[in-house]
Structure 1
Amino acid sequence: MPLARTTPPMGWNSWDCFGTTVTEAEVLANAEFMAKHLLPYGWDTVVVDIDWSDPTARSHGYNDDAPLAMDEHGRLIPDPGRFPSSAGGAGFGPLAERIHALGLRFGIHTMRGIPRRAVAADAPILGTDARASEVADAANACEWNPDMVGLDHDHPAAQAYYDSTLDLYASWGVDFIKADDMLWPYQAADIEAYARAIARTGRPIELSLSPGRDLSLTRLEHLREHATMWRICDDLWDDWHDVEANFARFARWAPHASASGWPDGDMLPLGRIGIRAERGEPRHDRLTPAERVSLMTLWLVARSPLMIGGDLPTSDPATIALFTNADALALLRAEASREVFRENGLVLWTADGTDGERYVAAFNLHDEARDIALDAQNVGLPAQLDGELRELWTGAEIATDHAAVRGVAHGSTAIRLSLAPHGAALLRYVAR
């Protein structure tokens, strides 16, 4: 069984800003920023994303037949050109040690299967008499990345290969693994074998599964049994249409977010991104300020894992402020998060705080601003509010009206909000 945790993972991932090309220096710069500015708010995990073994990695794509750095047993190791501390067989051990010294956790990206180059070299599988060609399943290769082929899990040495790779990662001090090409199509045998290999290391490694295109709730119990978190969408970028598409997904999945596992809306493409990434040129993200607030509000009320995609040291202070709002982040500890209304571009969510407070998130999906009056009872609040109602992003107290208001039940309080185009308000009610 995966590790149980009462709140979803929070951290930084190199993909949105550096794609396949991140360097050791860039990882450390983000780790140092996180330790100094974000760790007190719960951000504690630094993840090196895909292709850390490729010395020829480039922006905007993958390389066919890349000369991946690999040991004699077909296990990928860091490219020492980009990760100098890995030279001499040290792997990610020295980098993990430096990140741990900052009080943070260290994570890496991995791919399902075995490297094509390991199969071509017919590398021996550690701890067995088998070789890579015997355990490879070329018919089940990744559809979007050329580096790997599948494993034949009818062969016992397939499990041994995963056991050996996870044992290596554990020896480096890895705390978190983002395992890719696991969910589309759904690779049940690989998920089970990978989780089994993690358990056999004896190290408490959290497992994140990607990507989440077309993921069905019928997989929930299997996911909970084997992973800490799992993607419910494809890659998310700084485009409102990507964000808006996750409203329906979170409405399905958020009620199932718990210590048993966390549905993941993907990384937060906020701040300075695209520096050497897969998509787009260097930029501050293209979302409006209101859209950034909506994205953060949705991810928080849905209790999604939070992985920042922007380069932290060069992101603007307004973006960093979204990550250090302790009142908003407290939503990750809430319960009963759920969508309660969706009509004509207005979406409402509610959640119960751990100390009796109540949360309401209101979203405007329209392209125009709108003023609304919410019936307090429609968002799970008392008909007559007797306490503090505050918007958590601005800190402002919210106006209410006990007089008759159209659309509000007789005797109920009207909550008045002004929502920007694609904007949101995050309310907390504390009774006296």
Structure 2
Amino acid sequence: MRHQAPRSRQLRAAFAALALVAGTMFGVAVSAPAHALGNGLALTPPMGWNDWNSFGCNVSESLVEQTADLIVSSGMKDAGYQYVNIDDCWMSASRDANGNLVPDPAKFPDGISGTAAYVHSKGLKLGIYESAGTATCAGYPGSLNHEQADANSFAAWGVDYLKYDNCNNQGIPAQTRYTAMRDALANTGRPIVFSLCNWGQESVWTWGGGVGNLWRTTGDISSNFSSMLSNFHNTVGLASYAGPGGWNDPDMLEVGNGMSFDEDRSEMSLWAAMAAPLISGTDLRSATPATLSLYTNKDVIAVDQDSLGKAGTEIASSGGDDVMAKPLANGDVAVVLFNENDSAQTISTSASAIGIASASSYTLDNLWSKELSSTTGAISASVPAHGSVMYRVSPGNGSSIGSTHELVGTSSGRCLDVPNNSTTTGTQLDIWDCNAGANQEYTLTAAGELRVYNGSLCLDADNQGTTAGTKAITWTCNGQSNQQWTLNADGTITGAQSGLCLDVTGGNVASGNVNGTPMEIWGCNGGANQRWSLG
């Protein structure tokens, strides 16, 4: 529905050139950002949800309220998501006799004010949509020449966030139109985050910081890898323009809308590294545990929300292998190794290349698998096709070897479990609600074992099996290769003898992730049912 501006490699190069001005940080040239809006809002990138990508014009009060409930119950609110944003088509086809916008009474029987009151009762905030033109993109009344009246309505209704689109703009310069609404919002006295959705036109990043709290750097995103990749390329070179109170916006997250699990994980990693707004565009009411595990990863969110307010930069890019580095307030650096290619790649960088403080060794904290490891400077991982590995790098030593953890399945949110606390050898493992029991606590050893019950039994491929479908069982630890496992950077756990992945049987569908689902080894396939994190 929104106009999709064309993009090209030449345009990306132009974006990068705009960013290359005086001053350097982490080996990448930066410039001073535009003067911040100064309304005290969006000091970190906004986090929330918007209905458009999944519902289009099928928005309603009940949808918004159900989503607000889900944001609370799923843990998303606790993870930092706060805005519940209504997009286009919420209003009646014409203004009232006084020239005011009218919420569609069929879609919003309690009006926007009633919907806002419900959202506020959940400890969340409400966002709304309009366009800086004579009509919205769907043809409803626009705000051009009605800025103050509409801003007054939004404030009276209890709106906390305005997404301001660019359709039917009559050729009037964007800065003129968006500044008019900026001033109108300020005149209301209500704090309202102002999102400039002008599709990356007119070099909005060069003036957006003085007008809005975030500005779209691209056309609309779609739920496919090529669209996500394009929006990444068109935004990553603009890091110098972002900072507290004003953020580059590569559009909403398509996580959960049909991309692969690795592609979804890449989008979360890249958006967090770019200090982009994290606005979900999926139907959260039907989101899988795997999708919610991506949205609620607090370590990744902490990178996005870091108080230093620096957007990450692309410090290396060659042949579809990309390295991003984002400096953090405590001196750590977040690193994303991103593989654009259609096959797995080993991607490498170094502590010196990312600009971290000099030390004799460094800890790599894998933000998706939660595994700790140490390096003297090399940062390298095998990254699956279209996937990402994300580290938080800090000086010092750290290792998960010798430590005891739950192993949490990404597709289920449940733990690797010895059924019924059995200590009988040959028991096939399953998944079960995490409960901190001894039958769910595994110690990683230097030999690659995963020991349970304080080391008395080991995770074992039954009868030294190396074929797909071999049961994952417990057995007396014996040092054989069918009891040796590798915790990979992408969250998979592979058997040293078989090369196969620890797998939740049938776990690529929701029915395969219930309590008691048995464990096996299977050919590695990129599914969320083969991804694990240390609890």
Alpha-carbon offset, residue 427 of structure 1: 0.6
Name the residue aligned to 1:368.
Answer: 343
Q: Which has the larger radius of gyration?
A: 2
Residues 16-165 of structure 1 correspond to what in structure 2 (within 5 A)?
A: 16-36=53-73, 37-54=75-92, 68-86=93-111, 92-114=112-134, 145-148=138-141, 151=144, 158=145, 161-165=146-150
Separation in 1, partners of 2:108, 2:138: 22
Name the residue aligned to 2:332.
Answer: 357
Alpha-carbon offset, residue 251 of structure 1: 2.2
In 2 relative to 1, CA 149–40 (structure 1 residues): closer, same or farther, beyond 3 Å?
Answer: closer
The yes-or-no answer on 1:296 pairing with 2:268 is yes
Q: Is the 8 A contact 1:17 1:311 kept in 2?
A: yes
Give the 3-state SS of the residue equivalent to 2:64 in structure 1: helix
Identical amino acids, percent of aligned pairs:
30
Q: Is the 8 A contact 2:89 2:138 kept in 1?
A: no
The yes-or-no answer on 1:8 pairing with 2:49 is no
The yes-or-no answer on 1:328 pairing with 2:366 is no
Q: Is the 8 A contact 2:49 2:85 kept in 1?
A: yes
Alpha-carbon offset, residue 114 of structure 1: 4.1
In 2 relative to 1, CA 260–84 (structure 1 residues): closer, same or farther, beyond 3 Å?
Answer: closer
Alpha-carbon offset, residue 214 of structure 1: 4.0
Name the residue aligned to 2:288.
Answer: 316
Alpha-carbon offset, residue 338 of structure 1: 1.3
Separation in 2, partners of 1:254, 1:172: 35
Alpha-carbon offset, residue 383 of structure 1: 6.6
Q: Is the 8 A contact 1:93 1:172 kept in 2?
A: yes
In 2 relative to 1, CA 414–387 (structure 1 residues): closer, same or farther, beyond 3 Å?
Answer: closer
- Which amino acid is the alignment partner of residue 127 of structure 2? G
Alpha-carbon offset, residue 267 of structure 1: 0.5
Please list every run of 5 or more consecutive structure 1 residues that lacks an aligned counterpart in the other structure: 55-67, 87-91, 116-141, 152-157, 272-284, 403-412
Separation in 2, partners of 1:150, 1:305: 24
Q: Is the 8 A contact 2:356 2:394 kept in 1?
A: no
Give the 3-state SS of the residue equivalent to 1:84 in structure 2: coil
- Which amino acid is the alignment partner of residue 325 of structure 1? N
1:143-188 alpha-carbon deviations (Å, 9 max, x no partner): x54445784xxxxxx3xx3111111110000110001117987522
Alpha-carbon offset, residue 380 of structure 1: 2.4
Q: Is the 8 A contact 2:48 2:85 kept in 1?
A: yes
Separation in 1, partners of 2:262, 2:199: 26
Q: Is the 8 A contact 2:94 2:140 kept in 1?
A: no
Name the residue aligned to 1:121.
Answer: none
Name the residue aligned to 2:355.
Answer: 380
1:176-211 alpha-carbon deviations (Å, 9 max, x no partner): 000111798752221111111101101111110113
TM-score by length of structure 1 reads: 0.77
Give the 3-state SS of the residue equivalent to 1:190 in structure 2: helix
Alpha-carbon offset, residue 110 of structure 1: 0.6
Alpha-carbon offset, residue 373 of structure 1: 3.8
Give the 3-state SS of the residue equivalent to 1:348 in structure 2: strand
Could you tell me which of 199, 218, 221 is aligned with 1:212? 199
More helix by share: 1
Name the residue aligned to 2:183.
Answer: 196
Alpha-carbon offset, residue 215 of structure 1: 4.8
Alpha-carbon offset, residue 356 of structure 1: 2.0
The yes-or-no answer on 1:418 pairing with 2:420 is no
- Which amino acid is the alignment partner of residue 216 of structure 2? R
Q: Is the 8 A contact 1:183 1:212 kept in 2?
A: no
- Which amino acid is the alignment partner of residue 255 of structure 1? S
- Which amino acid is the alignment partner of residue 103 of structure 2? P
Alpha-carbon offset, residue 72 of structure 1: 1.4
Q: Is the 8 A contact 1:74 1:114 kept in 2?
A: no
Name the residue aligned to 1:128.
Answer: none
Separation in 2, partners of 1:46, 1:244: 26
Q: Is the 8 A contact 1:175 1:206 kept in 2?
A: yes
Give the 3-state SS of the residue equivalent to 2:207 in structure 1: helix
Alpha-carbon offset, residue 101 of structure 1: 1.0
Q: Is the 8 A contact 2:218 2:235 kept in 1?
A: no
Q: Is the 8 A contact 2:43 2:246 kept in 1?
A: no
Q: Is the 8 A contact 1:183 1:210 kept in 2?
A: no
The yes-or-no answer on 1:223 pairing with 2:178 is no
Alpha-carbon offset, residue 12 of structure 1: 0.5
- Which amino acid is the alignment partner of residue 112 of structure 1? A
The yes-or-no answer on 1:257 pairing with 2:293 is no
Give the 3-state SS of the residue equivalent to 2:126 in structure 1: strand
1:8-44 alpha-carbon deviations (Å, 9 max, x no partner): 1110001011111111111101011112321111100
Name the residue aligned to 1:338.
Answer: 313
In 2 relative to 1, CA 149–170 (structure 1 residues): closer, same or farther, beyond 3 Å?
Answer: closer
In 2 relative to 1, CA 20–393 (structure 1 residues): closer, same or farther, beyond 3 Å?
Answer: same
- Which amino acid is the alignment partner of residue 45 of structure 1? Y
Identify the structure with bigger relative contact order (alpha carbons < 8 Å, sequence gap 6+).
1
Separation in 2, partners of 1:23, 1:396: 42
Alpha-carbon offset, residue 222 of structure 1: 2.6
Separation in 2, partners of 1:207, 1:302: 19
In 2 relative to 1, CA 195–327 (structure 1 residues): closer, same or farther, beyond 3 Å?
Answer: same
Name the residue aligned to 1:178.
Answer: 163
Separation in 2, partners of 1:42, 1:340: 28
How much is the aligned-residue C-alpha RMSD, in angstroms? 2.2
Alpha-carbon offset, residue 374 of structure 1: 2.8
The yes-or-no answer on 1:430 pairing with 2:402 is no
Give the 3-state SS of the residue equivalent to 1:286 in structure 2: coil
Separation in 2, partners of 1:96, 1:293: 31
Alpha-carbon offset, residue 382 of structure 1: 5.7
